[in-house]
Chains A and B, each alone.
Chain A
Amino acid sequence: MTEVEIDFRPEGDTLGIVLCGEIDLSNSESVRNEIFAAISNDLTLVHLDLAELHRIDSAGMRLLFALAERLQLLRVAYLVTAPPGSRPRHMLERTGFDTLVQIRD
């Protein structure tokens, strides 16, 4: 199975999530479950950091979209960091994710 490390960094009512490694169909389900379980409804902001993510496929993007839907429903702000030119950034732009969620360099 593809390797990914998930680091949760809670800070008051903000939750930082740092993903390191790769996400594809083989691990996207477990990553999704882990992230969803870590999000409580008293948060005001979730900040997803993809700077250390080397690769994400369409199943991984489906997880990011699902998270966006869930947070929108909970009225929790959602922010994603992905360096310009990185593979995850290309994927975010290519799938129109940047029209839904604010992306930071």
Chain B
Amino acid sequence: MISPRSEAGPPPVPEGPFSWIRKLAEATSPRPPLVEVLHEILNRVRTLFHADTATILLPTEDGTHLVPRASAGVPEAVHQAIPIPVGRGFSGRIATERTALVLNHVDSSTVANPLLWEKGLRNLIGVPLLSADALFGILHLGSGQPGRYTYRDTRPLQIIADDIAVLLQNHRSHNESVAATVLQHALVDRQLPRISGMEFSARYVSAQSTGIGGDWYDVFPLPSGAVCFVVGDVAERGYAATMLMSKSREALRVYALDHADPAVLLNKLDRYIRYCDSSAMITIACGILDPSLKCLHLSVAGHPKPVFTKPGSDAHLADVPVDLPIGVGLTTQKRHSVMIEIPYGTTAVFYTDGLIDRPHKSTEESMRLLYENVRSGSPESVCGRIMSQLIGSESVDDDIALLAVHRQNFQNPSTMDFELDAVPESLTNLRVTLRRWLPTVGASEDDIGDLLVAVGEAAANTIEHAYGPTGGVLHVLLEAHSDEIRATISDTGAWRSPRGEHGGRGTELMHRLCDVVRVDSGTDGTTVVLHKQLSNPTE
């Protein structure tokens, strides 16, 4: 049937070299919501069978109940969404027995949904919606006329039901695939955090033929200044894989807030995953980099070992025992973690097996290519080289997640220049950066303690007083001179007068801990300059 285009619809496709794009776009335009389609079907079925009501019930996710989801004649059934236990009542029996039923006696003894007998229905006919032996729902018709339907009517109704089942099946697989793809990319394709002294780059490629496979990578800084890296692989596909992936990803983030040992994180995850899904298997490599960035704690659960390149040495696999994957083995096993030193210039590459199990290459060949291409330098170029050498133009039949981590060479030790959001959470980041940088310019533990407080107070003042609720930026410049550290903390806001009982104490502290404290306040913002003599200068 061709319906005339409404005036508000899209303009006709102009014929031209690119009109095929518009045609493709229209052909794949969003489907109408399922409920609307079912409603349209039910209206027609009701007319066709001279029924007073026509209703479709769909199973809940766990298959234990049926819920009315579309109805012509009993809309309140849909609005109230009364769950019918499978096995009980009229629809529940059709679901268990998977055959058509005709009912000539409609009351509380035969029908679980009170709305049906309250409606005055005297006769019900129902059929299962079956496709490929799976139950996708129940279709039933009701009439106020006793004896309206007999078992002879089940045949034509079942033919309609079979088509509806196919529609439901297609709809579900389409929806699951869309949901999996959207969720996977929302969780994985994110900007990696910026952490001074470190550089990251990553790739995620989903399998072309078999759909999303549940591989993921994750990098997140912790309040302590530590940085956690995760690369994992769920042995599943599609929606189920994505759900497990997102659970695991979030659980590890939560555990990492309280534990600094990746073996503990993986043990906790193992217990959690066993609790929610007894058949799951997930492989993971999890690393936690110390706040100093000098060493990485690594634990591996049935996952390919990461490859490291340190300055002056060839690429090699991390020397780490491989514990069992998450979710397998009769009980939770003891897990191991190792500590790996990360000198300046080290590059580490975490990946999933889709990268090295290539159809046209042996594992040895893939590993050789991987070693050759993990070189020190920008992680972006490392990822680029690895993907081009190992994958090239071949199709991808298994998901690939790849994460390259690089500790930058120490370039300019005498100054640090960075910006932070003027929010309280940035104070942690500021302290971590100071803790990393000050020892490299000759500050003693006492100096570090004093400067952490003084610079922290200056920054806290800015965060508290400089900006309105929309916030702003805090600019920090640290300079090391032969015997003195200079810190400049500036903003572009307008300071208001101090409030609260702690007002003024910060400035007092700065004066006590530093040799020079200068505050320049103007219309363009405020700059606080702090100078502190080092107690034991190196030069």
Contacts and interface: CB of A to CB of B under 8 A. Distances in A.
A95 B398 contact: no
20 contacts: A25-B210, A55-B357, A57-B235, A57-B353, A57-B398, A58-B283, A61-B325, A62-B279, A65-B328, A65-B329, A66-B279, A66-B328, A68-B328, A69-B330, A72-B330, A93-B322, A95-B302, A96-B322, A96-B324, A96-B325
A25 B236 contact: yes
Task: Report the 7 A-B pairs with minimum CB-CB distance, sorted nearest first.
Answer: A58-B235, A65-B328, A95-B302, A62-B281, A96-B322, A62-B235, A90-B363
Interface in B448-487: none
Q: Categorize the interface residue count of chain A.
A: 20 to 34
B304 interface: yes
A37 interface: no
A55 B398 CA distance: 13
Nearest to A93: B322
Nearest to B323: A96
Interface string A4-45: 000000000000000000000100000000000000000000
Interface in A75-93: 85, 87, 90-91, 93
Contacts of A91: 353
B203 interface: no
A99 B323 contact: yes
B64 to A, nearest CB: 22
A73 B330 contact: yes
Given A58-B283, A96-B302, A99-B323, A69 B237 contact: no
Contacts of B363: 87, 90
A61 B322 CA distance: 15
B328 A57 contact: no
A73 B300 CA distance: 26
Given A58-B235, A62-B328, A87-B363, 12 more contacts: A25-B210, A57-B235, A57-B353, A65-B329, A68-B328, A69-B329, A69-B330, A85-B364, A91-B353, A96-B322, A99-B322, A99-B324
Contacts of B322: 93-96, 99
Contact of B324 (A25, A72, A100): A100
Given A94-B303, A95-B322, A99-B324, A57 B357 contact: yes
Interface of B: 210, 233, 235-237, 279, 281, 283, 300-304, 322-325, 328-330, 353, 357, 362-364, 398
A50 to B, nearest CB: 15
Contacts of A58: 233, 235, 281, 283, 353
A59 interface: yes
Contacts of A96: 300-302, 322-325
Nearest to B233: A58
Contacts of A73: 330
B354 to A, nearest CB: 9
Contacts of B281: 58, 61-62, 65
Contacts of B303: 94-95
Contacts of A100: 324, 329
Interface centre among A85, A87, A95, A99 (most CB of B within 10 A): A95
Given A65-B329, A69-B328, A72-B330, A25 B323 contact: no
B317 to A, nearest CB: 11
B108 to A, nearest CB: 42
A95 B329 CA distance: 12
Given A58-B235, A59-B236, A69-B330, A94 B304 contact: yes
A55 B303 CA distance: 17
A100 B398 CA distance: 26
B499 to A, nearest CB: 58
A61 B235 contact: yes
Contacts of B304: 94
B325 A95 contact: yes
A65 B283 CA distance: 13
Contacts of B324: 65, 95-96, 99-100
Contacts of B353: 57-58, 91, 94
A93 B363 CA distance: 13
A25 B214 CA distance: 13
Nearest to A64: B328
A58 B357 CA distance: 11
A96 B323 CA distance: 5
> Which interface residue of A25, A59, A68, A87 has the most chain B CB atoms within 10 A?
A25
By CB atoms of chain A within 10 A, which of B300, B303, B304, B325 has the most?
A: B325
Greatest chain A CB density within 10 A among B237, B300, B324 is at B324
Contacts of B236: 25, 59
A65 B303 CA distance: 14
A96 B305 CA distance: 11
Contacts of A61: 235, 281, 302, 325
Interface string A93-105: 1111101100000
Nearest to B364: A85
B459 to A, nearest CB: 46
A97 to B, nearest CB: 8
A66 B283 CA distance: 15
